[in-house]
Amino acid sequence: MQTEPEINLVKQTCKELGITQKELAERIGVHNVTVRNWTSKGNIPEMAKNMMILLVEKKELVNYVSKMKNFVNIFDELKGVRIPDTL
């Protein structure tokens, strides 16, 4: 039975964040060669995996908060609008 190939976490993280491997290395605090090695060899320390997961989750939360702020602003604008009884 053939197993599904493992997704390269480094490449997936960079794609989701819209950054390069060098930028990912800077955010994690490691040398860019270290990240390149993780990409090619697939031997990623657990701490680095967790950091990449947290970076993606942070981006998703920031986007969510931004959408919620937009919703609140629209709602606040609509509070002052009088809707006629008959349309």
Locate 30 and state its tokens: 């490691």
| Domain assignments of the chain as residue spans, ordered by start | 9-79
Residue 2 to residue 7: CA distance in whole angstroms: 15
Please give the C-alpha separations between residue 69 and each of 57, 61, 65, 66, 75, in angstroms, as whole numbers.
18, 12, 6, 5, 10
87 pLDDT exceeds 90? Answer: no
pTM: 0.74
Cα–Cα nearest to 27, from 2, 6, 7, 56: 56
3-21 residue pLDDT tens: 344 578 999 999 999 999 9
69-78 residue pLDDT tens: 999 989 888 8
Q: Tell which CATH classification among 1.10.3470, 1.10.260, 1.10.287, 3.40.50 matches the domain 9-79.
A: 1.10.260
CA angle 52, 39, 41 (to 5 degrees): 125
Across residues 12-34, what is the average pLDDT? 96
Locate 4 and state its tokens: 């599904």
Identify the burial level of 73 via C-beta atoms within 10 angstroms of its C-beta, where 0-12 means exposed, 13-18 middle and 19 or more buried.
exposed
2 pLDDT exceeds 60? Answer: no
Confidence at 84, pLDDT banded by 50, 70, 90:
confident
